[in-house]
Amino acid sequence: MNRKAVAARDAFVDLVQQMLVELGEDVGREGLKRTPERVAASLRFLTRGYRVDVDQIINNAIYHADYDEMVLVKDIEVYSLCEHHLLPFYGRCHIAYLPNHKIIGLSKVPRIVDVFSRRLQVQERLTTDIAYAIENHLEPKGVGVVIEAFHLCMMMRGVQKQNSKTVTSCMLGRFKSDSKTRNEFLDFIK
């Protein structure tokens, strides 16, 4: 690690230690001795999407194909951090697209989800970020993205509603303009 990276890591660790002090904790206590380092490393991991480019993830895994039926990848696990409280939200993402002579390697679809979910987010933006990334790279006839998630900021604090699920969608192209296509997608993900 270069000096700049070490200095940035050390500054982050110091911030976490100061946060623990502000919470009234004894940072010298056995259980907390390495907590600042662990929290800093954890947050870097959970926000690694800032340091990843979608083009790198796709890595030329877009292929010519005459396939023109819906491609659906469903039940992709999503883990993100709410940008308002830095608390996790988690759930499932369902993505469909109608190819326009281009398909993408299937493993790339959940990796695109990870790029955007591993950033501080709101679910609404996460949903549209994923949809537009697929639209921009594949130029399909349509894209549909639905995310269903549980938010710890709603479960642990605030309204404290443990069973509320938030559902967001972004429909582009034929998924937006053609109710038959949209309904077929929604039926598949039930």
User: Which residues does the annotation mark as catalytic?
Assistant: 82-85, 123, 151, 153
CA angle 70–127–165, rounded 5-degree value: 105
Name the nearest CA neighbour of 75 among 27, 110, 44: 110
Helix (H) or strand (E) holding 168: strand 166-173
Written as one letter, the residue type at 72 is L
Element (H, E) at 149: strand 142-151
